[in-house]
Amino acid sequence: MNRFTMQRRIAIALLSALSVGGVLILLDGHNPFEAYKVLFLESFLNYWGFSNTLVKASPMLLAGLAVIIPMRAGVFNIGGEGQIYIGGLFGAVFALAIPDLPGLFGVPLIFIAAAAGGAFWAAIPAYLKAYRGTNEVIVTLLMNFIAIHIVSYAVAGPLLAEGAPYPYSEEVSEAYRLPILMPRSDTHVGFVFGLAMTVILYFWLRFTPSGFHLDLVGRNARAAAYAGVDQKKTVIRAMLIGGSLAGMAGAIEVIGLKYRLFHLFSDGYGYDGIVVAFLAALNPIVAPLTALFLAGLSAGAGTMQRAVGVDSSVIEVVEGLVVVLVAAALVTPRTRPISILKPLARNLRLRRQTQRQKKEA
């Protein structure tokens, strides 16, 4: 499937999902055009609405990338939600344990701690998939619930703030809080960080040997094996990168918005990341746009309900339809016939042999 055909199918799927949502709005006795007008104007053209959109888009973007990278290697990472929770926990523990560092050093270290937490949580299903053949969808999905309960235990026990009426930790140091991007709002630089990660991952996939290996494994495992690519290591690498990205999304929520670790602090961003990834057709450079679109739907749902009277659950239906219809639109495999990939694989193998011979010489 060429890029134009893929984009056309995704556009049709998206319009179909919005159309079904419009029918539901109409059956509820409201004007769908008026409802969508309020939804999109408030989400993208209103200062406060757009600030809310950016706040939601920040973790969505990283969660989407956490799905895209493993899926490019042929692995389904449905565990972004759990990885967000563990990443947020690791980041919060570091921030609370070492509160006196300057922000210039502390914030990067918090992101590193969160990335390590997310990668650790992703390493378990990665190992089981690569070396035991276990279904990663089931494992990552079930591990989401374990992670949520681990964080709930932590904030209700060891990390519980003194006198807290609800399970949450002490506040992180002000030096660790992300800078505000839009004055008088909660919009922080998290989305800018997500854009930077998007560009890095795009160039890594496009121009580095390890990125090429990952894509080759996802496109055709037989061709990758023919080229001598270690598929097990590639699968683990893809999952670790995905887990670290989701973990950093957890850190963004902790030090960018809530400033402490809460029970149930993620609003399902790990699952939203799946929609972002599908809507972007697994292209990381498109993910910021799809994250903004999905965040706009979520941010504008409440405004639409208050202004027009449409129940915000309609937007949840639209989001679900986007996943189903886009998945159906992309039903044609991303893999190319092995006869086409064999020359690429042969060239890769010859280059490796040449490099090995040079080293031996």
Higher pLDDT, residue 6 or 210 = 210
User: Which candidate, 183, 159, 201, 204, places its Cα nearest to that of 51?
Assistant: 183
136 within 8 A of 281, measured Cβ to Cβ? no
Q: What is the pLDDT of residues 54-95, one digit of tens each?
A: 999 999 999 999 999 999 999 999 999 999 999 999 999 999
Residue 147 has pLDDT above 90, yes or no: yes
The residue range of the domain holding 33 is: 3-360
Q: Check whether 44 has a pLDDT greater than 80.
A: yes
Average pLDDT over residues 106-116: 97
Which of 256-260, 301-305, 345-349: highest mean pLDDT?
256-260
What average pLDDT is seen over the chain? 88
Write the CB contacts of 170 (distance below 8 Å, at least 6 apart in sequence). Answer: 96, 159, 161, 162, 260
Model-level pTM greater than 0.95? no
Note the pLDDT of residue 276: 92
Beta bridge pairs of residue 34: none
Highest mean pLDDT among 21-30, 225-234, 256-265: 256-265
| CA dihedral for 249, 255, 257, 259, sign (positive or negative) | positive
pLDDT digits (tens, 9 = 90+) for 175-233: 999 999 999 999 999 999 999 999 999 999 999 999 999 999 988 888 888 888 899 99
- pLDDT given at position 333: 47
For residue 359, the model assigns a pLDDT of 58
Residue 170's pLDDT band (cuts 50, 70, 90): very high
For the chain, the straight-line distance linking the first and the last C-alpha, in angstroms and rounded, comes to 44
Q: What is the structure's pLDDT at 61?
A: 97
- Total domains present in the chain: 1
- 352 pLDDT above the threshold of 60: no
Amino acid letter, 196: A
Which range is least confidently modeled, 131-140, 218-227, 254-263? 218-227
